[in-house]
Amino acid sequence: MPKPVRAALVLLFCVVQAVFGPVFVDAPLWNIYHTKTVAAALLKEVLLSSVTAFGIGYLVHHHWRWKSAKWLWLVGLGWLAIGSVLSAGQSSVFDSTAATVWRSIPGTSCVSDPTGTSCTNFFVFTVLSNRAIFYSLGAICCAAAARTRSREQEAHDSVSELTEEPRTAPPAAG
């Protein structure tokens, strides 16, 4: 398989894992703590999906060492930028563009209007971008931990070589 095609497939696989992986992991955890307000439910969604996306990114990078997993944050940031531009285009006559973006991207408009378009934008753009960014952070932390472990192992090996007794040939039988 050509390298560009393989790289594109790996990136697509990472995007699918980052976006849909937390859904499957979060589903059993979602019912552990019941929220009473919309704001608490939004916070729970963001925190739970961020932590699980981080964990999935860490484990995927630990197992496969894909470089594209470390760069997925750019896809998430781009998706968030698209959401910001689209939210800015939905501003009303009574609302400024910046205020519309500020309410729809962090999800503050979901508290007052849970069925509105800006609340949909929060889940489509912010939550999915957040998952991609935290997935990438998990992969980056895994790579950093692996580098630290290899440096520690190299240092340990070099110290043990210095402290070992010189090996001598066994006495000849005679």
168 in any annotated domain: no
Nearest to 109 by CA among 89, 94, 123, 93: 123
pLDDT at 164: 65
162 in any annotated domain: no
Question: In this model, does residue 93 exceed pLDDT 60?
Answer: no
Percent of the chain residues past pLDDT 90, beyond the cut: 54
Q: What is the pLDDT of residues 136-165, one digit of tens each?
A: 999 999 999 999 888 877 777 776 666 666
pLDDT at 161: 66
117 in any annotated domain: yes
155 in any annotated domain: no
Give me the mean pLDDT over the 106-115 stretch.
82
165 in any annotated domain: no
Q: What is the DSSP string of 82-138?
A: HHHHHHHTT--TTS-HHHHHHHHSSSHHHHH-TTSHHHHHIIIIIIHHHHHHHHHHH
The average confidence (pLDDT) of the chain is 86
Q: Which of 31-35, 104-108, 155-159, 170-174 has the lowest mean pLDDT?
A: 170-174
d(CA 73, CA 39): 26
pLDDT at 110: 84
Tell me how crowded residue 70 is: count the other CB atoms within 10 A of its CB: 22
172 in any annotated domain: no
Q: Which residue has the higher pLDDT, 127 or 95?
A: 127
Provide the domain limits for residue 52.
3-150
Q: What is the pLDDT of residues 133-143, one digit of tens each?
A: 999 999 999 99
pLDDT at 50: 96
8 in any annotated domain: yes
Give me the mean pLDDT over the 43-48 stretch.
94
163 in any annotated domain: no
Q: Per the structure, how many domains does the chain have?
A: 1
Give me the mean pLDDT over the 92-121 stretch.
74
